Structures are given as structure tokens and as C-alpha cells.
Amino acid sequence: MRVYVALISLSLIWGLSFVFISILSEPAGVWGTVFIRCLAGALLLIPLLWYKRKDIIKPIPWKPLLIVGVINAGLPWGLIALSQTQIDSSLAAVLNAFTPIFTGLMGLLFFGSVLLKQQWIGIATGFIGILIIMDFDISLLFGESFVGIGTMVLATMFYGFSSHYVRKHLRNAGIIFVTTSTLIVGAVVGGVMMLLTNPNQLQTLTQSVNGEIIFAIVGLGFFGSGIAHLLFFYLMRERSPEFATSVTYLIPISAIFWGYFLLKEPISLHMIMGLLVILCGVYLTTRPKLTFRFFRKATLKNADLEERTKE
């Protein structure tokens, strides 16, 4: 029962994160949002890391940690914040469901994974879902929506690559250590980019601070970046990586719910239809073994019936 409570809680937190990004991106800017999100999450986890400091592996794999911090936090979170300056939080969350699909593609392209036929069908199905979301209006790709949709999809590509990279290079580094290091590097990336693009951004944020912004900072940093990661790894430990990543199915639904009730964002029919098609693609891409076993059992059963008929 606890794992299901954790799964639902995680989907609600990460779904709400898209709303917090929408609130913060205007006063804090794209990279200011990344900086605040990563810094707040790191501040939450650093005391826990200090308590568990004896578990830190030696020698410390500095290079993989730096790379993961950039490609799993700094860059994709900047792209998501940029995306939400062009599209609403609900659509961004729907596009986030592409993460498992690009995880399969990145494994094929860079890590020697093999994709089955049905996985290719799942990838194609996911892209059809994108077309449905755009209401088959290709012209949207050449307007402002290109930035919003393109940067969100690019962020899921980084997520897909980083999941394989972490599995390959940081498998034994420790959950809390990897997560905290990722957030620290992400904060550095966000801070540097903020200074390069708009050095007065934090001053602007300070002048416009109100209850809503403080709530967004706490929600996005402490909950969306800190507690959410701990819940995710708890699910992986108690059940399996497959069970933990099933949260991808729930996040868009959660984000659409939050966006509608908190930001008054409209819910269109083609968004719902596109989401369902994308989730079908995600299922085909991430559940090849289950489907294969189903067809294999069906084939063996038919063969057995044929054999009995002959007898």
C-alpha cells in the first residue's frame, strides 16, 4: 500500500512542478528558475548526505557526476522553463511523457541497446500523438509553438540519455550522493547562465517576491527536486525501475488537473486524445517483454491445441 501512496504522491508533486515553473519563470527568468530549483533541492538533501557521508564511494567519480548534473538537471530544466514561456504547463507535461520513448532511442543510438519491432511502433505512435496535440497543424512548428514544443521534446531527449548514462557510470555511487551532486551542478549551471544572460534577474525576483512566489520556490525546490527524487528512488528500491518509471503515465494527468484548477488553463479535446496516443506509444516502447511473453504464451497455447487435435 505504501508504494502506491508514494507513486501517487510523486505524480502529484511532479505534475504540480510544471505549475510552479510557470509561476517562477516570469519573475526569475529561465535560468533563474533552474538556479533556484536546484539550489533549494540541494539545501534540503545536503544534511542527509552529510549524515550518510560514510556511504560515499571512493574515489569520487567527478566527471560522470558533472556530466549528469548538466544533462539531467541544468540543461533540461532550463529547456523546460523556456518551453513554458511559450506553451502552458499542461501541454508541457503531456510532452514530458515522451521521456520513456527517447530513453529507448538513446539506448539504441549511444549505448548498444536493441529495439524490438513493437518498440519502433511505439516510437512512431508517440510522434503521431504529437501531431494530434498540434491538431495536425504543421504550421505551428514554424511559429512560437516550435520553441515551446521543440525545447520540451529536447529536454526529454536529455532525460533519456542521462538515464542510460547514470546506469552505466554511476550505478554504485549511491542515490543520495548522485541526486545531491546533480542538483549542485545544476545550480551552478543555472547560476552561470543567469549571470551571462541577465545578471540583474535575482534582483528583479527579490523585488517581486510575494506569497505565491515563495510557495512556488518551496514547492519546486524542496518538493519537486528534493523529496520527489527520494520518493522516486524509494519506489525503485521497494519494487523496480519499471514500477518507478510508471509515474510517467500519471504526471500528465496530474499536471492537466493542477493547470486547470490553479492556472485556469483550458483542456482541449485534441490534447486529451494526443496524450492517450502518446501513452500508448510509451507502453509499447517500455513494455516489450510483457507483450512478447503474451504473444509467446498465445503461440504456445495454439500449438498445443493443434497438437492435441492431431492426436
Summarize pLDDT for 287-307 with one digit per residue, the tens: 655 444 444 444 445 445 445
* Helices assigned H by DSSP within 117-220: 117-133, 144-169, 175-197, 201-207, 211-217
Higher-confidence residue of 215 and 7: namely 215
Higher-confidence residue of 270 and 40: namely 40
CA distance linking residue 177 with residue 112, whole number of Å: 27
Picking from 225, 227, 156, the residue whose alpha carbon sits closest to that of residue 9 is: 227
CA distance linking residue 305 with residue 95, whole number of Å: 45
Average pLDDT of span 91-98: 81
Cis preceding linkage at 266, omega within 30: no
Average pLDDT of span 254-260: 82
Percent of the chain residues past pLDDT 70, beyond the cut: 84
Show the cell assigned to 160.
533519456
Q: How confident is the model at residue 184 (pLDDT cuts 50, 70, 90)?
A: very high
Average pLDDT, whole number, for the chain?
A: 81
**200 pLDDT higher than 50:** yes
**48 pLDDT higher than 80:** yes
This prediction's pTM: 0.80
Burial class (CB in 10 A: 0-12, 13-18, 19+), 168: exposed
Q: How confident is the model at residue 113 (pLDDT cuts 50, 70, 90)?
A: confident
Q: How confident is the model at residue 189 (pLDDT cuts 50, 70, 90)?
A: very high
Average pLDDT of span 136-158: 78
- pLDDT, residue 183, reads 93
- pLDDT, residue 71, reads 94
Average pLDDT of span 78-93: 88
Q: How confident is the model at residue 79 (pLDDT cuts 50, 70, 90)?
A: very high
